[in-house]
Amino acid sequence: MFLTANTYKGDYIKLLVISDLIFLKNRNILTRLINTKTTMPKARNNQNPKELSRSTVVVLLSSFLSITSILNESD
């Protein structure tokens, strides 16, 4: 299963989820996600992109890890 994220610089990050382990394509990805602000895609009415705070990114990542571990336990 792959999860793709878009950083504030427009870089695409691919996270590979295998069992309980998460292999990052680049070791600095997690640090970059937490230490920087990421932007959401622009809305259809061309509003400015919304920025995600560090805490939001951390919550999203921890939620993803929790869901992944729950899914792995059910196998």
Q: What is the pLDDT of residues 21-72, one digit of tens each?
A: 444 444 555 555 555 555 545 555 545 555 666 677 777 777 777 777 777 7
13 close to 29: Cβ distance less than 8 angstroms: yes
The DSSP letter of residue 11 is -
User: Which DSSP state fits 42?
Assistant: P
pLDDT at 59: 76
Tokens 């504030």 sit on residue:
8
| The overall pTM is greater than 0.85 | no
Q: What does the angle CA 24 – CA 17 – CA 71 come to, to the nearest 5 degrees? A: 145
Model pLDDT, residue 57: 74
pLDDT reported for residue 61: 79
Q: Where do the domains of the chain lie? A: 2-73
Binned at pLDDT 50, 70 and 90, residue 11 comes out as low
- Residue 48 tokens read as 């400015």
Higher pLDDT: 71 or 15? It is 71
Q: In this structure, are residues 11 and 24 in contact, taking their beta carbons and an 8 Å threshold?
A: no
